[in-house]
Amino acid sequence: MLGIVVEIIASWLLLRFVEGKDLLVLGIAPTIKRLGNLVFGVVASTVTCAIYFLAIGYAANGNWTINEEFSAQSFLYGSWWTLKSVLYEELIFRGALLYILIRRIGLRAGCFISAFCFGIYHWFSYDLFGNTFQMLFILILTGVAGLMFAFAFGVTKSLYLPIGLHFGWNFVSAIVFSNGPLGKQLLVLEGAGQASGTLSTGLTIFQLLALPLVAAWYIRNIWKEQSQRAT
């Protein structure tokens, strides 16, 4: 939590002395539209992530079983941990720095730089150095996700949509399907074998593109509405 507080202070200082703005330019003040974006992000990412992990179980002939040791305390701790990690990353990569990049070099260039940095960051968080294939895969996977989050911020001019997209996926992945540093959570995959090459490739493509395509459709509609109001 201390890290998030430091990020907020650093963001305020950056915005204040570089752009002469305050934290409100990050779109943090709640409105009906922003809350709607948050809900869409959470629902879209939750459903997409659930489909992905259920498909993994099917492809590997495994069964998702309930972890009897999972408790309300585990749920609350995991939810809080996920929210903190999402806010930490969003404030770094889709906060003041991206706002300044967009102002200085434009939406597309700023978003691509942010996405690339987000991908590189995961080399450190996943400790992948020395494994070239994994480094490249994670750069692409998290880079595409970072591009989605960046455009979500850049087009809506708010952190609500990227936070919703980011939190929904991470929550379902880590807390529901036990795929993360928290270990066994609600569901555990048992009896799984090895998925065939074709199914494995299809799942990888789904993981890479499914949510970004849904988000792109939603963001494009917002962009169109904004363009229509401006003309």
- Does 71 fall in a domain? yes
Residue recorded with tokens 């087009």:
155
Q: How many domains does the chain have?
A: 1
Whether 50 has a pLDDT exceeding 70, the answer reads yes
- Does 27 fall in a domain? no
Q: What pLDDT score was predicted for residue 231?
A: 67
CB atoms within 10 A of CB 223: 15
Q: CA-based diameter of the chain, in Å?
A: 58
Q: What pLDDT score was predicted for residue 199?
A: 84
- Does 79 fall in a domain? yes
- Does 173 fall in a domain? yes
Find the domain containing 128 and state its range. Answer: 36-223
- Does 136 fall in a domain? yes
- Does 166 fall in a domain? yes
CB 102, CB 95: distance < 8 Å: no
- Does 183 fall in a domain? yes
pLDDT in tens, 56-75: 998 888 899 999 999 999 99
Residue 175 DSSP SS3? helix
Q: What pLDDT score was predicted for residue 197?
A: 73
